[in-house]
A and B are shown apart, each in its own frame.
Chain A
């Protein structure tokens, strides 16, 4: 089930909330928690029942390891066993075919591919459980009861595409009796943030996706302007898609009076790639820092080792995003760039001392992000140089119009008929190109301003917001019949 579906919005969420608060109202706290876990499992396996068995196996494996740690005291042994189990599942379901196809290519083998469809959210809940295993090994986490543990892994707002939540962020909140009472303020904030997130996804990301998909699926026919529009469209699509999802997740959490961690903090305003990673997918960055970078020695073993550790972290981040060489190259190139930034930290920091320098640095960083995202989004390694060559070809073949038509929107149809009548084909084309430019401009402005999370957290919602929010929600609902899946649920 997806957040951007009628079933989820009009049936699943109301029924789940009603059951949860009704049971809590009658002080049936454990059944209330069991209800949320049950609903989350229904959410996860709605369209694909085998997913239930997968997540159940994953939970059972980790829970048993944790239990054995408690019973035997052999934390290291069973912790490692648990982590190996998690990585094994992830490898099999996410990387097996990639591994086999590369082995076949490298050694001329003919091993059969399994064609395994990537189970939704596996990267997220596996990492959450790895963090729990690691904390159990270090003695930083207690063994939870099965229901509490399941609530941590399965809580549906964060199950499919994060944020990557730590057990210590979630379980204590579910156990806190004060949080079990319906809270109008938290619920209202949750609904508002959910609608903002939904609007980001449905009204922006999904429209931008049309342009990005066109550009990256037709690299050979692009000119400079259309390839620039294509990568800009993807850059904003990715942000609105994922941050929209996270806003919805946090909003849903608030509806249950549960706080989920922030995952985005205006990443496109960063003045360096390092800063970008402190603002983008924050919980993934924290996971890698705490469970990979620091255990590898972090910066405690000298500068060279710190740089190597950074490279390893970003290589793993690339692999985490998907089983393709494009992701690996993307992760690695980010790592290389961050090591370069670290080496030249002082001269680069000087640039930020004045306003103009900071702006230039921010602009250059944004251009670098665009450049890296070409690698991230390209359909194959061969498409990467091809895309850059189209981008820097300084050619114009009118393909921008085709890209603009691909980003068609029902809102444009009546103005389009009028434009054709008044100004013929030229005005019609111009209208579509202006629409693409406007969409990108709006995206830029929204990326620079206050985030939806900040806006709602500050409680700045008054009467003026009411019609805006209702209209946004209305347009989101009537746009849901073209359901487009979340990008990060595929990672």
Chain B
């Protein structure tokens, strides 16, 4: 091809490519499946599939007056239960393995954008034990969080957004029975059975001596985390904070029995209650965190930790029904129940030398 032909060819190529890329960008900006630029357009529903990408935008642009905060053990709670019980609209702000600072970051964002009636907080003890200075919101795609508009190319020129999230949002918006309360729910993708749960559990090595609860680094972390939570609680007396202790399967407790973290986890919960229970706008619920049947029945677990849809809703219902409220006075007693369950389990494991007895708890 000669110079003139080449010139025509390349200019047409640039033109055609530009048209395709502009069309793609415009369509993503209009539909906006990650709620990055605006709220929902008429006719569209908020379809949630990737918390790493959607929580930030949802907190900024969607309509809500309550949030459900937590890690993966809170993710599968149907927030519609809260909506129906309290006449509110709850937005999930969850992240797998969420650190306390991540959830505080979410909550600050929510308070910046909306007036909140309720905060439901699935408090797992890990959250409070993480270092405070670690990057908040570490699971979230940074290009959606930073203020650099050039980084948005990662959003509007993104094959997953264009060929998966966007069509998914458009298609699901047409279904009348879509339940937004099941946002980020991963239970449908998992198999729940004792075999699958046990297949993810590989206890290794010797049982470690319990880590001290007065360790300097531990206390520093726990105090820093609780300071940030307390600051938000104190700054928003108009908001009701409903904390609940999260449910984890016995195999998760077994891991932390072995790595020596158990006492720290109990202490983390006690610390949270001691720090926050004095506020009128705070209530702690035990959920089903120390319910023997819920902890031991591996039929309801897909791995060492995560329970199925049914057990997750028990956590929400315990809050709604206001049963087993935890206070400074009864918290040690409640934790003692859990301590007893774990001790029984470890004793039986030593006596039997295998996991088979766990099948006795299946229903």
Contacts and interface: CB of A to CB of B under 8 A. Distances in A.
Contacts of B163: 410-411, 413-414
A184 B3 contact: yes
Contact of B9 (A183, A461, A471, A475): A461
A182 to B, nearest CB: 10
Contacts of B24: 474, 478
B20 A471 contact: yes
A473 interface: yes
A185 B167 contact: no
Interface stretch (B11-19, B268-276, B308-316, B340-348): B11-19
A439 B15 CA distance: 30
B3 A183 contact: yes
Interface stretch (B154-162, B199-207, B292-300, B322-330): B154-162
A474 B27 CA distance: 14
B10 A470 contact: no
A473 B157 contact: no
B6 interface: yes
Interface in A466-481: 466-467, 469-471, 473-475, 477-481
B3 A413 contact: no
B22 to A, nearest CB: 11
Contact of B157 (A188, A461, A471, A480): A480
Interface string B156-182: 011110111001100000000000000
A313 interface: no
B152 to A, nearest CB: 10
The CB with the most chain B CB atoms within 10 A, among A184, A479, A482, is that of: A184
Contacts of B356: none
The CB with the most chain A CB atoms within 10 A, among B6, B12, B157, is that of: B6
Nearest to B12: A466
A424 interface: no
A478 B10 contact: no
Contacts, number: 78
B12 A410 contact: no
B334 to A, nearest CB: 42
B1 A185 contact: yes
A184 B6 contact: yes
The CB with the most chain A CB atoms within 10 A, among B1, B7, B9, B167, is that of: B9
Contacts of B9: 188, 461, 465-466
A178 to B, nearest CB: 14
Contacts of A193: none
B160 A470 contact: no
Contacts of B13: 191, 466, 469-470, 473
A322 to B, nearest CB: 31
Interface string B14-38: 0011001100100000000000000
Given A410-B163, A470-B20, A187 B157 contact: no
B2 to A, nearest CB: 7
A185 B4 CA distance: 8
A240 B15 CA distance: 28
A414 B3 CA distance: 43
Nearest to B154: A481
Contacts of B7: 184, 188
Contact of B17 (A184, A187, A459, A474): A474
A477 B168 CA distance: 21
B41 interface: no
Interface in A1-20: 6
Contacts of A469: 13
B135 interface: no
B10 A474 contact: no
Contacts of A480: 157
A481 B159 contact: yes
A414 B167 contact: yes
Interface in A295-341: none
A477 B3 contact: no
Given A459-B1, A474-B17, A184 B167 contact: no
Given A188-B10, A467-B16, A477 B157 contact: yes
B85 interface: no
A470 B17 contact: yes
Contacts of A474: 17, 20-21, 24
Given A461-B1, A478-B24, A479-B159, A187 B10 contact: yes
A188 B20 contact: no
B16 A187 contact: no
A331 to B, nearest CB: 37
A191 B1 CA distance: 14
Contacts of A461: 1, 9
A469 B9 CA distance: 11
Interface string A402-446: 000000001101100000000000000000000000000000000
B17 A473 contact: yes
Contact of B159 (A6, A414, A475): A475
Given A413-B168, A477-B21, 17 more contacts: A184-B7, A185-B1, A185-B2, A187-B6, A187-B10, A189-B6, A410-B159, A410-B164, A413-B163, A414-B164, A459-B1, A461-B9, A465-B9, A469-B13, A478-B162, A481-B153, A481-B158
> Which 7 pairs from chain A and chain B are nearest by CB?
A188-B6, A470-B16, A410-B163, A474-B20, A184-B3, A184-B6, A481-B154
Interface of A: 6, 183-185, 187-189, 191, 410-411, 413-414, 459, 461-462, 465-467, 469-471, 473-475, 477-482
12 contacts: A6-B153, A185-B3, A410-B164, A411-B163, A413-B163, A461-B9, A462-B1, A470-B13, A473-B17, A474-B24, A481-B153, A481-B154
Interface of B: 1-4, 6-7, 9-10, 12-13, 16-17, 20-21, 24, 153-155, 157-160, 162-164, 167-168
